Amino acid sequence: MMRLRAIEPEDLDLLYQIENDQSLWKVGTTNVPYSRYTLHDYIASSSDDIYADRQVRMIVENDERETVGIVDLVQFSPEHLRAEVGIVILQNHRRQGYAREALRELFDYALRIIHLHQLYAVVDVRNEAAVALFKEMGFSAGNMLKEWLFDGREYHDALLMQRFL
């Protein structure tokens, strides 16, 4: 079992680790390092209100209250009731079902609390595990986004994946 919780100031080191992990830049849409100051400011200024911030990030914890990852909704559009999903499970906690459980909890939150109509993810086609996970979780692979992600040296194709709630 696991739970999702709000980001706390004590999560600064985790956020710093994830945001500055260059191996994740290859499969996501971020490819710049973030300073501790910037991340501290983000945590301090976040209202934890998706309507105000247009995003919400939550920590994924296991039964022992150990942090195993982070999940977020970004690019929130209240007009169209959709948001982009992002998820990172820490390396030593992968392949244990946490991503699947975290996404289920996120779907429940998105539907019951903020009444979203759809979620989407931009997934690097080379990230076979993420493509398989999102398909398993009910996302359909839509358009191929040619040369969508840049890893600092070369461009990579991505899939736009959608799930209707």
Summarised one tens digit per residue, pLDDT across range 59-74 is: 999 999 999 999 999 9
* CB proximity list for 24: less than 8 A, separation 6 or greater: 18, 30, 88
Q: Could you report the per-residue pLDDT of 91-115, keeping only the tens digit for each?
A: 999 999 999 999 999 999 999 999 9
Where residue 141 falls among pLDDT bands split at 50, 70, 90?
Answer: very high
Higher pLDDT among residues 39 and 113, named by residue: 113
Q: What is the pTM of this model?
A: 0.89
- Residue 76 is predicted with a pLDDT of 96
Q: What sign for the dihedral angle of Cα 64, 65, 68, 73?
A: positive
Q: Give the residue among 143, 69, 80, 78 at the shortest CA–CA distance from 106.
A: 69
In angstroms, the CA 59 to CA 8 distance is 9
Segment 137-160 mean pLDDT: 92
Higher pLDDT among residues 113 and 33, named by residue: 113
Segment 44-54 mean pLDDT: 86
